[in-house]
Every structure is written in structure tokens, then in C-alpha cells.
């Protein structure tokens, strides 16, 4: 087990009607002038935004709306939010939505507290980030885990790069999580979410570090729970218990605890971010489309680890490690396919929700490989370091 530091300060308010407590929470965390950040309108149509605003008014809190965040959120849009928040003199940023609204809210909070720097400079590490504004969350989609994570992921259109900023200043002060709010998510977003939740643990699980028994057991149980409840939710996304399990797992899978003592790998996320930046592929789809090929390529670096995954998560009974490892990978890919998710790059070339990519010629693939390795100057992952080739 490697040394680790874990910091999970986010207060969780979980369950039915918890959004009614938003005003009280904002007040408790020092907010009196709130910028509310949301997406393309789902929270307006569902009436959630109005209900949340009513709780602010009841506490005498003033607010301004900043809607229109796009999935795969843009840095330029967040920069506009910074200007808006400064001119409104906001003292707390409240995200109402999924990962994209939350990540934009986090970026706005950094920008307001550090007006001498642009978000691009902050993301490029040009200033040492030492302060931010408090961020609160009303979550509407179980997926990214941003409601507890130390990360915010934005696409910089100028450079074409989608990149996460990791800092404990990204941890929200509170997250309100009512599973009923997720009943209305489009099926494709539900399944993208299931993949993303699994992938936050999988991208931590395959590490060269040995002897992380507690962390492994947390990870393996979380994965089994997501797989089981994902199946139920896929059939009926108004099943309160299944949607609750997914929602809580989304937070636990990305607040850090499923990888403590290991190395931070995130290779598949890095591959996926290139597809999302270049083609606006939904985050979860970018991961399911790459995981199987990644796993088959990397497996031989540590077959016993993949065999452990197969046995503990998928109850594979093969005694030979390599056979077990292959069976575990196949079961995972079959599971993603059963959720109607893309499981290879050609799947992304199909028309429809998934098909935003066009033909991935060899030339295009080399261009993406160039980007993810910064022109072959960087390797990704430590379990099986990968260069451009
Ligand atoms: O924009 P609106 O109209 O709200 O619609 C959204 C959006 O179209 C819709 N939606 C959300 N909740 C809904 C709903 N529709 C109906 N009813 C509801 N209750 O779903 C669509 C997707 O929303 P988005 O916020 O983009 O989804 P998600 O939560 O999956 O977030 C994805 C983003 O998070 C980043 C991803 O890269 C991606 O940009 N990630 C952030 C992480 C972090 N900060 O720690 C970690 C992740 O690995 C990930 O990279
Ligand atoms: Zn993710």
C-alpha cells in the first residue's frame, strides 16, 4: 500500500425531498448571493430550478441564473460565468444538474476567487490555486461523481484539449442527492452514467501496486453493486432503490476511496477525453468504446490482477489466470453492450446518438494518439505505459 491522503469534506444530503433544504444549506455555508449554474434546460422543464429558487427566497438569499452549460462543457462558457458572477458579486456558486453543470460551477468559483488569472491559466497551472468560492450541488444525474470529486473537466476550444484540474478546492461544500430527480434522464445518459461510475473505479483498480486489500474489497463490491442495479435501472429508471444505489455509487466511485493506496492511472479516461474533445462524444460512451481494447492490450502486464477482477466481480471460475482475465474482460464488454453502449471505436462511427465521429481512419487515430501523448513526449498509465504507437 502506498502512502495516501484522503480528504472528503462534502456534506451529503441524500434522499427524497432533500432539494427542499437547498436554501438552508446555502445559508449554512455562508451564501447570501448565489449564482445558479445549470445546463440546457432540463431543470427548467422539470420545475426543479423553480423549487430550488423558492428555497433560496425563503432564506432571504438573492440569486442570478447562469444556464446553458453544454455537455462536455467549454472553458470559454465558464469564463463568461466568471464575469457574470463577479458583476453579480456572488459569494457561492450553486450547480443544479449533472457533471457538466458542476464542473462549470467549480471553474467559475476558481475564476471569481482568482480574478488576476484566466481559467486557461488556472488549468495550465500558471498560478498556484490557493482559494476558491464555496460550491454547492443539487445533483440530477448519477455519473461523473463531480459532486464529491476533486476534479473539474473542461474543454478548451482554443487548444482542442479536454482536461481535468485536480485540487481539493474542487470538493463541493455540500451535495443534495434525491434519486427521484434522476428519473427523467434520457436512457442514453443513464447508461453513459453507469459506465462512467464503473470506470472511475476500474481506472483506479488496475495499478501495479500490491497489497491494497481494503481498497480492493471496496472497489470490487462497488462494481458488483453498480452492475446489478444498472441492470434494474436499465429496465425501469423509476425504481427508487436501484436509482439510489447508482446515485450513491457515483459519489463513492470518484471521491477517491476506491483507489486509496494505489497509483492514479486513468488511462481510459485520457483516451476517452480525446474522443470527446475532438467529436463531442458523450463521456461514458467514450469510455465504453475504448475499455475493452485497452484491457486486452494491457492485460498481459499483470494477468493476475485482471484474473482477480474477473473472479471477485464477475464470479468467473477459471483457474488459469489468463483464461480468467480474458473472461472478465469479455463479461465487462458484454455488459456494456447489453446496455446498448458502444464497445469499440467502429461503434462510434454509426449514425445516431453514438455516431458523432465519422470514419476513424488510421491518420485520424495517429492524430488522436499524438494529442493524448503530447506529441509522443508523455506515456499514459503506469501498469502498462503506452506511447503514441
Ligand atoms: O443540460 P441539461 O438540459 O440539464 O440536460 C442534461 C445533458 O443533456 C441531461 N440531464 C441531466 N440530468 C437530467 C437530464 N435530463 C433530464 N433529466 C435529468 N434529471 O443529461 C445530459 C448530460 O448531462 P452532463 O452533466 O453532461 O452529464 P454527466 O453528469 O455525465 O457529466 C459529464 C461531464 O462530466 C465530466 C465529463 O468529462 C463530462 O464533461 N466528468 C467530470 C468528472 C469530475 N468533475 O470529477 C469526472 C468524470 O470522469 C468526467 O470526466
Ligand atoms: Zn468519468
What confidence tens digit (pLDDT) does each residue in 134-189 have?
999 999 999 999 999 999 999 999 998 999 999 999 999 999 999 999 999 999 99
Query: Is the pLDDT assigned to residue 356 strictly greater than 70?
Result: no
Cα-flanking dihedrals φ and ψ of residue 14, to 5°?
-110, 135
State the cell numbers at 266: 486513468
Pocket, ligand 1, Cβ cutoff 6 A: 39-43, 71-73, 97-101, 103, 140-141, 143-146, 149, 151-153, 181-182, 184-186, 189, 192-193, 196, 254, 269, 283
Which H or E run contains 115?
none
pLDDT-derived band at 352, boundaries 50, 70, 90:
low
What distance in angstroms lies between residue 371's CA and the mean position of ligand 2's atoms? 19
**187-205 helix and 267-279 helix, angle to the nearest 10 degrees:** 140
What distance in angstroms lies between residue 18's CA and the mean position of ligand 2's atoms? 25
Give the whole-angstrom CA distance, residue 247 versus residue 240: 10
What distance in angstroms lies between residue 311's CA and the mean position of ligand 2's atoms? 24
**Which residue in this structure is represented by grid cell 459569494?**
91
Closest atom of ligand 1 relative to the 181 alpha carbon: 19
Least confident span in 98-102, 129-133, 241-245, 360-364: 360-364
State the greatest distance between any 2 C-alpha atoms of the chain, in Å, as a whole number.
65
Query: Is the pLDDT assigned to residue 353 strictly greater than 60?
Result: no
Closest atom of ligand 1 relative to the 154 alpha carbon: 39
pLDDT attached to residue 355: 52
Q: Which bound ligand lies closest to the C-alpha atom of 195?
A: 2
207 Cβ contact list (under 8 Å, min separation 6): 259, 262, 263, 265, 382, 383
Interstrand relation of 62-66 and 33-37 (parallel, antiparallel or unpaired): parallel
| Mean pLDDT for the chain overall | 96
What distance in angstroms lies between residue 56's CA and the mean position of ligand 1's atoms? 24
Closest atom of ligand 1 relative to the 199 alpha carbon: 48
pLDDT attached to residue 232: 98
Q: Whose Cα sits closest to atom 32 in ligand 1?
A: 99
Contact criterion met (CB below 8 Å) for 13 and 177: yes
Give the whole-angstrom CA distance, residue 179 versus residue 16: 7
pLDDT attached to residue 360: 82
Q: Which bound ligand lies closest to the C-alpha atom of 254?
A: 1
Closest atom of ligand 1 relative to the 145 alpha carbon: 45
Cα-flanking dihedrals φ and ψ of residue 172, to 5°?
-60, 155
pLDDT attached to residue 181: 98
Report, as an integer, the average pLDDT of 307-319.
Answer: 98
Q: Mark out the alpha helices in the chain (DSSP H runs).
A: 22-28, 42-45, 48-58, 75-88, 99-113, 119-123, 187-205, 213-235, 240-254, 267-279, 283-298, 303-314, 321-338, 345-348, 362-372
DSSP code per residue over 11-45: EEEESTTGGGGHHHHHHHTT-SEEEEE--SSHHHH
Query: Is the pLDDT assigned to residue 260 strictly greater than 90?
Result: yes
Contact criterion met (CB below 8 Å) for 45 and 190: no
List pLDDT tens digits, range 14-60.
999 999 999 999 999 999 999 999 999 999 999 999 999 999 999 99
N- to C-terminal Cα separation, the chain: 31
pLDDT-derived band at 354, boundaries 50, 70, 90:
low
pLDDT-derived band at 359, boundaries 50, 70, 90:
confident
List pLDDT tens digits, range 80-139.
999 999 999 999 999 999 999 999 999 999 999 999 999 999 999 999 999 999 999 999
Which H or E run contains 166?
strand 161-166
Mutation test of ligand 1: which of 137, 188, 189 has the most ligand atoms closer than 8 Å to its C-beta?
189
Mutation test of ligand 1: which of 141, 176, 180, 282 has the most ligand atoms closer than 8 Å to its C-beta?
141
**How many other CB atoms sit within 10 Å of the CB of residue 120?**
15
Amino acid at each position: 500500500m502506498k502512502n495516501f491522503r484522503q480528504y472528503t469534506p462534502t456534506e451529503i444530503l441524500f434522499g427524497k425531498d432533500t432539494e427542499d433544504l437547498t436554501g438552508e444549506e446555502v445559508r449554512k455555508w455562508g451564501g447570501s448571493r448565489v449564482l445558479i449554474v445549470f445546463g440546457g434546460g432540463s431543470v427548467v422543464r422539470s420545475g426543479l430550478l423553480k423549487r430550488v429558487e423558492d428555497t433560496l427566497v425563503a432564506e432571504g438569499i438573492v440569486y442570478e441564473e447562469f444556464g446553458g452549460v453544454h455537455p462536455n462543457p467549454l472553458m470559454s462558457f465558464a469564463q463568461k460565468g466568471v464575469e457574470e458572477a463577479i458583476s453579480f458579486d456572488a459569494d457561492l456558486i450553486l450547480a443544479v444538474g449533472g457533471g457538466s453543470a458542476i464542473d462549470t460551477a467549480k471553474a467559475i468559483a476558481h475564476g471569481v476567487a482568482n480574478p488576476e488569472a484566466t481559467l486557461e491559466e488556472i488549468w495550465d497551472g500558471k498560478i498556484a490555486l490557493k482559494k476558491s468560492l464555496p460550491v454547492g450541488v443539487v445533483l440530477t444525474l448519477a455519473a461523473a461523481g463531480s459532486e464529491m470529486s476533486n476534479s473539474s473537466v473542461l474543454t478548451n476550444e482554443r487548444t482542442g484539449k479536454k482536461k481535468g484540474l485536480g485540487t481539493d478546492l474542487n470538493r463541493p461544500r455540500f451535495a443534495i442527492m434525491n434519486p427521484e430527480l434522476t428519473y427523467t434522464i434520457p436512457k442514453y445518459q443513464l447508461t453513459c452514467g453507469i459506465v462512467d461510475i464503473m470506470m472511475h473505479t476500474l481506472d483506479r483498480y488496475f495499478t501495479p501496486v500490491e497489497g491494497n486489500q481494503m481498497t480492493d474489497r471496496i472497489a470490487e463490491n462497488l462494481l458488483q453493486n453498480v452492475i446489478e442495479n444498472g441492470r434494474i435501472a436499465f429496465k425501469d429508471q423509476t425504481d427508487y432503490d436501484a436509482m439510489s444505489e447508482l446515485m450513491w455509487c457515483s459519489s463513492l466511485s470518484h471521491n477517491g476511496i476506491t483507489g486509496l493506496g494505489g497509483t492514479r492511472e486513468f488511462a481510459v479516461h485520457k483516451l476517452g477525453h480525446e474522443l470527446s474533445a475532438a467529436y463531442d462524444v458523450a463521456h461514458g460512451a467514450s469510455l465504453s468504446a475504448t475499455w475493452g481494447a485497452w484491457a486486452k492490450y494491457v492485460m498481459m502486464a499483470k494477468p493476475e490482477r485482471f484474473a482477480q477482477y474477473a473472479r471477485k466481480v464477475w464470479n468467473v471460475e477459471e483457474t488459469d489466470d489468463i483464461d480468467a482475465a480474458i473472461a472478465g474482460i469479455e463479461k465487462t464488454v458484454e455488459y456494456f453492450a447489453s446496455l446498448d453502449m458502444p464497445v469499440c471505436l467502429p461503434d462510434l462511427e454509426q449514425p445516431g446518438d453514438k455516431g458523432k465521429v465519422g470514419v476513424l481512419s488510421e491518420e485520424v487515430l495517429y492524430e488522436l494518439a499524438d494529442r493524448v501523448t503530447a506529441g509522443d513526449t508523455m506515456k499514459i498509465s503506469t501498469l502498462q505505459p503506452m506511447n503514441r504507437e
